Amino acid sequence: MPVLDRFRLDGKVAVVTGASSGLGAAFAVGLAEAGADVVIAARRADRLKGTASQVEALGRRCVAVTADVSLPDDCTRVVAEAVDGLGKVDILVNNAGVGTAVPATRETPDEFRRVIDVNLNGSYWMAQACGRVMKPGSSIVNIGSVLGQTTGALPQAAYASSKAAIIGLTRDLAAQWTGRKGIRVNALAPGFFPSEMTEQYPDGYLDAMMIRVPAGRAGDPEELVAALVFLASDAASYVTGIVLPVDGGMLTT
């Protein structure tokens, strides 16, 4: 098959969590551009409609499911609606995530647990639900962060722990499922990309962080989408268990 065709996702069904804004919306649209039909999930139904319109404008089918990924039953329902509506699940993008910055001596158990519940546990519940129905040739891409491997200049114990745990989850599921079920499991580790999450940073934070980014700038979501399509597609058929940084070189510094 010609090499560029190996990146095509025609006929595939992708589930993207956290597709109501930011990177998740860009992932849903990018997967649709590559040919996939897309199931999108998040808590804000009104915002999912906007993403669904963009996917459908590309001629792809879209099923929007209002769900909280921290709830295992919601994750099961997302996958059931994907199978009911579009027949199968070939690709899962575990993108839903929350970020907080709270000094460790002040962070409450509920604050810490909520971040782990969404970023780590939610990724696992979604992977479990998809892993039960995915056929050989399927692909899971977990969205980690460079902050799983290094630190920012903010107090982010919960977020950093959750994203470091995504690396362990990715490796373990790859070891369990690549050979036995034919499901590849990888992670992306984004650096800094403009989104609702980065809008919450203190004034001047992003500019100050750029000194640690050899590329000297934040990323464009399109640069992350290209890496996602690679990992999701047959172009990466011999790639599993990795964490791919897309960070302008931040992890080299």
Q: Which two tokens stand for residue 107?
A: 């962070």
- Rounded CA separation 169/144 (Å): 10
Taking CB under 6 A as the criterion, the residue among 9, 13, 16, 22 binding ligand NAP is 22
- Closer to ligand NAP by CB, 145 or 240: give it: 145
Query: CB of residue 27 vs ligand NAP: minimum separation in angstroms?
Result: 9
**Does residue number 113 form part of the binding site for ligand NAP (CB under 6 A)?**
no
- Rounded CA separation 138/7 (Å): 14
Q: Which of residues 193-252 bind ligand NAP (CB under 6 A)?
A: 193, 195-198
Q: Which two tokens stand for residue 33?
A: 């551009």
Query: CB of residue 71 vs ligand NAP: minimum separation in angstroms?
Result: 8
Taking CB under 6 A as the criterion, the residue among 13, 14, 15, 23 binding ligand NAP is 23
Q: Which of residues 34-53 bind ligand NAP (CB under 6 A)?
A: 42-44, 47
- Closer to ligand NAP by CB, 8 or 157: give it: 157
At residue 160, what are phi and psi to the nearest 5 degrees?
Answer: -65, -40
Interface with ligand NAP by CB under 6 A: which residues?
17-18, 20-24, 42-44, 47, 67-70, 95-99, 118, 143, 145, 190, 192-193, 195-198
